[in-house]
Amino acid sequence: MTPEGPAAERRYEPVIGLEIHVQLRTRTKMFCGCALSFGEEPNTRTCPICLGHPGTLPAVNAEAVHFGLMIALALECDLAERSVFHRKNYFYPDLPKGYQISQYDVPLARNGVLGDVRIHRVHLEEDAAKLVHAGSSGRLHGAEASVVDFNRGGTPLVEIVTEPDIRSAAEAAEWGRLLRATLRATGVSDVNMEEGSLRVDANVSIRPAGESTYGTKAELKNMNSFRFLERGIEAELARQEAIVRDGAEVEQETLHFDPQTGALTPLRSKEYAHDYRYFPEPDLVPVAPTEEMVSRARGALPELPAARAGRLEADRGLPPETARLLAFRAELGDYYEAALAADGDVDPRALASWVTNDLQARLGDGEDPARSSVEPAALARLVAMVGERRISQSAAKEVLDVLAAEGGDPEAIASERSLEMAGGDEIAQVVERALEQNADAVEQVRAGNQKAIGAIVGAVMRETKGRADGGEVQRLIRERIEA
């Protein structure tokens, strides 16, 4: 087929799988007693074991196994009865032993699922140290130098590998956020992408729509936000499509995405792929979780975001997107449920919309609503007042502005500022005046132009400064015109 033929119009389907490294928030490192490091002086959290001195023996951190089991159970995996540690051999200055202790053919867990994406495997390993490129300031014998900080070396990691079930860049980011929310709920990690406690690699390929086999994938390394992950995948999909439309083939390689420039630069190609010469770690026994360990891990899991979203949808009648928003951002969900508990009269759907739209818009980016001056009970009361038609939507937004600025009681604020709905008598008088002043519009409505009623309603709303209920005003106007 020529490029001008059907191939030019052919649609390509993205196929994406993610590999995620999660730094565990244990007290000590994976195989030694060193405390984890949070920005301490370089090389102050080290010992002969994590520095890889000959003759030292690693011992598995029980807390890391516990956290690993929690993650595996949160992802509904099958647990291995005896998972095995292997040595993954390669030479790099950040790896003093010359190998990383990881898991290979028998990982801690397999065959899980989160949302719409299957989990291929979950395994335990140790983090490498950190190379700091000191540049010319670190010149050594005239050359630019790099130095190593071994504090991070040996930090416990869980690696999560998905099946290639994701079909768009946006879905990858959305699923990544679900995973992060799930991990955050378990409390086993800080899950901070900027600080590297959550690191995401994306495997990306395309195939002609309808095809069942996969194309050759490229791997995007270490995206440090889900926004960048989405943009990186978009860029890579575009690059691959251009290659294929040119009649060429995608090569298997590892790429770096620069979010500043949007450029994709190759890190290594298949020809230079590592042969890690995995072999069983002779110094460690397999991890064989007892029933007691498994039930302790299960018992330590809170309600997870996917379950919470389902519950909010089913029990509160929330639209799926709203339920997900509240469940994926636990602080919003907690606020919502506190508000719901505080006022029995509030409509759960209306309240959810106020929390996710109006309240969120008045918070700083990512700010915890619990820290705002809007008490959950106050927001619930305000939304209930709207439901009881004691205040209009627009007046309620004014009250929310005041609550967000200085806190307080919505009833008091509404009455101090005369924002409550006008009473029936007052509205009737205003409607009467509006009919007199808009005689033209009245004529048009009588002549069958229903849209003309808008001008009269508008006049009433202006006069009452929005303290009237639009629907009710329309009803009154119609009643008077048709009388």
Residues near ligand ADP (CB under 6 A): 15-19, 161-164, 203-205, 214-215, 217
Quick one: residue 202, left, alpha or beta (phi over 0 = left, psi -120 to 50 = alpha)? beta
Q: Is the Cβ of residue 237 or residue 351 nearer to ligand ADP in the bound state?
A: 237
Q: Is the Cβ of residue 32 or residue 117 nearer to Zn ion in the bound state?
A: 32
Q: Is the Cβ of residue 101 or residue 413 nearer to Zn ion in the bound state?
A: 101
Query: Which of the choices ligand ADP, Zn ion, none does residue 18 contact, using the CB cut-off of 5 to 8 A by kind?
Result: ligand ADP
In the complex, the smallest distance separating the C-beta of residue 253 from ligand ADP, rounded to whole angstroms, is 11
Residues in region 20-59 near Zn ion by CB under 5 A: 32, 34, 47, 49-50
In the complex, the smallest distance separating the C-beta of residue 59 from Zn ion, rounded to whole angstroms, is 11
Q: Is the Cβ of residue 163 or residue 347 nearer to ligand ADP in the bound state?
A: 163
In the complex, the smallest distance separating the C-beta of residue 265 from ligand ADP, rounded to whole angstroms, is 20
Using CB positions, name the residue nearest to ligand ADP: 17
Q: What 8-state DSSP symbol labels residue 367?
A: -
Residues in region 114-173 near Zn ion by CB under 5 A: none
Q: Is the Cβ of residue 232 or residue 376 nearer to ligand ADP in the bound state?
A: 232
Query: Which of the choices Zn ion, ligand ADP, none does residue 32 contact, using the CB cut-off of 5 to 8 A by kind?
Result: Zn ion
Q: Is the Cβ of residue 68 or residue 164 nearer to ligand ADP in the bound state?
A: 164
Q: Is the Cβ of residue 37 or residue 197 nearer to Zn ion in the bound state?
A: 37
Q: How many residues does the chain have?
A: 483
Query: Which of the choices ligand ADP, Zn ion, none does residue 50 contact, using the CB cut-off of 5 to 8 A by kind?
Result: Zn ion
> Taking the alpha carbons of 427, 428, 431, 437 in that order, is the dihedral positive or negative?
negative
In the complex, the smallest distance separating the C-beta of residue 61 from Zn ion, rounded to whole angstroms, is 11
Q: Is the Cβ of residue 97 or residue 217 nearer to ligand ADP in the bound state?
A: 217
In the complex, the smallest distance separating the C-beta of residue 127 from Zn ion, rounded to whole angstroms, is 12
Q: Is the Cβ of residue 176 or residue 215 nearer to ligand ADP in the bound state?
A: 215
- At 263, give phi and psi (nearest 5°): -80, 145
> In this structure, what token pair is assigned to residue 172?
């990858």
Query: Which of the choices ligand ADP, Zn ion, none does residue 17 contact, using the CB cut-off of 5 to 8 A by kind?
Result: ligand ADP
Residue 89: count other Cβ atoms within 10 Å of its Cβ. Answer: 16
In the complex, the smallest distance separating the C-beta of residue 46 from Zn ion, rounded to whole angstroms, is 6
Give rounded-to-5 percent helix, strand, coil for the chain.
40, 20, 35
Q: Buried (b) or exposed (e) across 281-290, using 16+ Cβ within 10 A? A: beebeebebe
Q: Is the Cβ of residue 123 or residue 217 nearer to ligand ADP in the bound state?
A: 217
Number of chain positions touching Zn ion (CB under 5 A): 5
Query: Which of the choices Zn ion, ligand ADP, none does residue 243 contact, using the CB cut-off of 5 to 8 A by kind?
Result: none
In the complex, the smallest distance separating the C-beta of residue 29 from Zn ion, rounded to whole angstroms, is 5
Q: Buried (b) or exposed (e) across 419-442, using 16+ Cβ within 10 A? A: bbbbeeeebeebbeebbeebeebb
> In this structure, what token pair is assigned to residue 325?
């928003």
Decide if residue 65 touches Zn ion (CB under 5 A): no
Helix/strand/coil (H, E, C) string of 284-311?
Answer: CCCECCCHHHHHHHHHCCCCCHHHHHHH
* Residues 201 and 159 sit within 8 Å (Cβ to Cβ): no
Residues in region 416-435 near Zn ion by CB under 5 A: none
* Residues 202 and 3 sit within 8 Å (Cβ to Cβ): no
Query: DSSP states of 257-291 as a string?
Result: E-TTT--EEEEEEGGG------EE-TTS--B---H
In the complex, the smallest distance separating the C-beta of residue 96 from Zn ion, rounded to whole angstroms, is 11
Query: Tokens 């202006």 label which residue?
Result: 462
Query: Which of the choices ligand ADP, Zn ion, none does residue 163 contact, using the CB cut-off of 5 to 8 A by kind?
Result: ligand ADP
CA atoms within 13 A on the CB side of 273: 10
Helix 453-463 / helix 424-437 crossing angle, nearest 10 deg: 130
In the complex, the smallest distance separating the C-beta of residue 182 from ligand ADP, rounded to whole angstroms, is 17
In the complex, the smallest distance separating the C-beta of residue 87 from ligand ADP, rounded to whole angstroms, is 18
Q: Which amino acid is at 109?
A: A
CA atoms within 13 A on the CB side of 122: 27
CA angle, corner 243, sides to 237 and 249, nearest 5?
105
Chain positions contacting Zn ion, by CB under 5 A: 32, 34, 47, 49-50
